[in-house]
Structure 1
Amino acid sequence: MGKLVRDRIPEIMRLQGKDPEVERISGERLRRALKDKLVEEAEEVRQTDDLVEELADVLEVVDALIDAYGLDHGEIEHVRADKKAKRGGFSSGEYLVG
């Protein structure tokens, strides 16, 4: 089973003398792969102390998902800000226990 990689990874692998088998995907298959990649990257955030690198990967996948679904970045930011204004963010550490 394969996995979605950054666009230049096959090129980089070839420069290293490797011969990766690559398939270009699109449409619903790409959207599913991006969702899987988001979960993969989120798990890497959980498992590392190098948050800058891993959060950059998460943001890259989120950006690709927005594009793959034809969504508007501004609209998403507006919804995020509206939810934060109405329900708060996550910075204060409120944790429901039961």
Structure 2
Amino acid sequence: MTREYDKLVRDGIPAIIEDDGETPVVHTASGDEYERRLGEKLTEEVAEYRESGDVEELADVLEVVHALREQHGVSGEELQEIREQKADERGRFDDGVVLERVLE
């Protein structure tokens, strides 16, 4: 039986499939394809978190964020600095503020 996926997976998944006695068919994405597939994976992982609310899904989101960060040549420290700068300028999401509208 063949199952189709056509999606980016964690590096260890092909070995796990082989350990289960199945044969994975894979290729290595690079360049524009890799960045596109990371974006698709981010959407997938965010959707899984939204559906389940499971903290493990947040870890998957974070893993994809770090892969995207590396793809853009940004260190973890640089990303944290950018995050802090935005928080200093615009705040965080601690208070649950919902903008309903702006009156002119």
Q: Output the aligned Cα RMSD.
A: 1.2
Name 2:86's counterpart in structure 1: 83
What SS is found at the alignment partner of 1:61? Answer: helix
Runs of 4+ in 1 over 4 A off after TM superposition: none
Show CA shifts across 1:8-66 (max 9, x none).
0011001001111111111111011001101110111110032x210100010011111
What SS is found at the alignment partner of 1:58? Answer: helix
2:96 to 82, 93, 96: 93
Name 2:35's counterpart in structure 1: 31
Instruction: Give the deviation of 1:96 after TM superposition.
Output: 1.5
Q: Does 1:7 align with 2:11?
A: yes
Counterpart Cα distance in 1 of 2:53 and 2:37: 25
Counterpart Cα distance in 1 of 2:69 and 2:53: 27
Instruction: Count matched residues.
Output: 97
What SS is found at the alignment partner of 2:6? Answer: coil
Q: TM-score, normalised by structure 2?
A: 0.87
Structure 1's unaligned 5+ residue stretches are none
Question: Looking at CA atoms only, which structure, 1 or 2, has the larger radius of gyration?
Answer: 2
Q: TM-score, normalised by structure 1?
A: 0.92
Instruction: Give the deviation of 1:4 after TM superposition.
Output: 0.2
Q: Does 1:22 align with 2:26?
A: yes
Aligned partner letter, 1:22: V
Structure 2's unaligned 5+ residue stretches are none
What percentage of aligned pairs have identical amino acids?
A: 45
